[in-house]
Amino acid sequence: MPGHANSLPIADVVSLAGAGLAWGMTPAVTKLGGFTGIPALAWSGAQAGAAALMLGTLAVATGRRLPLNRHGLWYSLAAGVIGLAFPNVLLFLGMLHVPAGFFSLLAPLSPVLTTLAMGISGHERVGRAIVVGSVLASAGVLLAMLPGAALPDADALPWAIALLLVPTAYAVANVIAAVWRPAQADGMALAAGTLATSAVVLLPLAWASGHLAGAAGAWHAALPLIVLQGALQAIAFTLYFRMIVSQGGVFASNVAYVITLSGVGWGAVLFAERPGWLTIPAVALVFAGLWVLTRR
């Protein structure tokens, strides 16, 4: 029976792990992209375009209709700007200053803030679980910013605080999806449209600001990373929507646990990042908050 804890198909467990590993690797690949010297707008627009092309091709090949009506286009524009364009540019800039593993501790704030926002807006009842879960997860993130945790030094704190806007933007996009999402539109097709809209917004800005021209000497090194980033997003979205259909949103939300662990792991493997001992209680608090929220 779908959703039964003792009868989870192995494919759903693999999907959960695969989506978490893919999304957990995103900050590390973004950090590598920053090292190539490619400007922020050029990177963000190109990787969104690559992901849109891959996901859109898959959506069309599997018979999914892209959201080309007025409602679908407006939704894609709002979600693409708030949920992708803005946070992707900020993430690119922030990854030049903070460890890749640190952002993995911020990522679970997205489902926490989404639940909190849905409650405050009246779309979900604000019960004790929402309050307790939000407080626990927020305490874990604050702990991660202290000396001896996931940040190497206090100089990175301003960028760490700025990066809090990334999961906040993701949460706003989630609320937009819950409230404005076209009722009959396929999730994968909407994701492709949202990514395409993000690219359409960012690439002209990159051209107008000179970022595309400024990237001329960096494309050779950055292009493989852009393709990899696009593939990671396409894979993660595909597996995520598979979990939504198979087991529902509560099961799919558990991907946040895997993102945190895999993000810290990728940072250690690719950049030899060694978080301080306070990272352990920080992760425990974040996980406790997520557990209180998702157990409902």
Cα-Cα-Cα-Cα dihedral sign, residues 84, 90, 94, 96 = positive
Enter the tokens of residue 212. 């595309």
pLDDT at 226: 94
Residue 141: exposed, middle, or buried by beta-carbon count in 10 A (0-12, 13-18, 19+)? buried
Mind listing the pLDDT tens digit for each residue in 202-238? 999 999 998 888 777 888 899 999 999 999 988 988 8
Domain boundaries of the chain, sorted by first residue: 10-294
Residue 296 neighbours by CB distance under 10 Å = 11
DSSP 189-247: HHHHHHHHHHHHHHHHHHHHTTHHHHTTTTHHHHHHHHHHHHHHHHHHHHHHHHHHHHH
DSSP 110-164: HHHHHHHHHHHTTSS---HHHHHHHHHHHHHHHHHTSTTSS-SSGGGHHHHHHTT
Q: Which residues of the chain have pLDDT under 70?
A: 1-8, 123-124, 126, 248-250, 296
pLDDT at 202: 95
Mind listing the pLDDT tens digit for each residue in 272-289? 888 788 888 988 998 898
